[in-house]
Amino acid sequence: MSSILIFSAFGNINYFLYIAKKNIMECPRCNSEDIKKVGFTSANNQVYRCKTCKKDFVNNKSGKSRQLRELHPDISDTRYCPTCNEYLHISNFYKNKKGHGRYQSNCKSCDLLRIRLDRFKITEDKYNSFIINQGNRCKICGNTFIKTPHIDHDHVTGKVRGLLCGDCNRGLGGFKDNLKSLLSAIKYIKESLEN
């Protein structure tokens, strides 16, 4: 109905085709019209993905499209983590607490690290210096870190002592930093080895 009104009001078929073409969304990279909705930006703008070139983009209020990121050509369920600067599978991201099928911007590893740095009030430079000084190894068992290391700290003073693997951190936490209990555990293990 509106297309007939536009045609009859202006009487010009070229203008009608211009208006019809203007309302069709195109990929800003390859000009393909084969696109789909894939989610929202943090500013709650609709994100579209070109099925041809796998490029994500948003449509601005001015009608101009803005490219967001290029996806891995074989995997459509990827997301970009700005902290580690990598494209990862969507299973590596926590779901946003607001729901709607959205995911947090940082991957699980980067998000966990950010939370730990905030909790223990150390900078990323200080954290990286622990990694370098310890040779990317647990300070107790000496195993190379496979997952994000745990930040060990004194529970009385809050001072960070070093980085531990998950097993050593849980073991030390189980003894509640009690030196007498730790020495008793060492004695117990030595006695069991002798028998």
- Reported as a pLDDT band with limits 50, 70 and 90, residue 20 is very low
In this structure, the answer to whether residues 100 and 39 fall within a common structural domain is yes
In this structure, the answer to whether residues 81 and 34 fall within a common structural domain is yes
Q: What confidence score (pLDDT) does residue 38 get?
A: 79
In this structure, the answer to whether residues 101 and 125 fall within a common structural domain is no
Q: What confidence score (pLDDT) does residue 73 get?
A: 42
- Reported as a pLDDT band with limits 50, 70 and 90, residue 113 is confident
Q: Which domain holds residue 30?
A: 25-107
If we measure between CA atoms, which residue out of 143, 139, 135, 164 comes closest to residue 152? Answer: 164
Q: What confidence score (pLDDT) does residue 23 get?
A: 55
What does the block give as tokens for 105? Answer: 């911007």
Say how far apart CA 115 and CA 190 lie, in whole Å. Answer: 38
